[in-house]
Structure 1
Amino acid sequence: MGFCFGVRRAVDMMLEASADGHRVTTLGQVVHNPQVVSDLERVGIVVNERRTTEGVSTDTVAITAHGVSESTVETIEERGFGVIDTTCQFVKRSQLAAMHLAEAGFTIIIFGDPDHPEVKGVVGWCRGRGITIPDESLEGLPAYLPSKVGVISQTTHTPERFAKFVANLMEARIDQITELRVVNVLCNATTSQQAATRDLAQEVDLMIVVGGHNSANTCHLADLSKANGVDTHQVERVSEIEDDWFKGHEKVGVTAGASTPDSSIDAVVTRIEAIAAAQA
Structure 2
Amino acid sequence: MELDPQNAVTAIQTGIHQASALVVTYSFSVLGAILLLVIGYIVAGLVERWLYAGLGKVGGFDLTLRRFFSKIARYAVLGLVAVMVLGQFGIQTASVIAAIGAVGLAIGLALQGTLQNIAAGIMLLALRPLRIGEYVEVGSISGTVEEIGLFATRLRAADGVYVLAPNSTLWTQPVKNYTRNGVRRNDITLGADHGEDIDRMRKSLVALTAGDKRILREPAPQVFASDLTDESIAITLRYWTSASDFAAVKADLTMATGELFYDKKPADQQAAGI
TM-score (structure 1 length as normaliser): 0.22
Q: Which has the larger radius of gyration?
A: 2
- Which structure's relative contact order is higher, taking Cα pairs within 8 Å and 6+ residues apart? 1
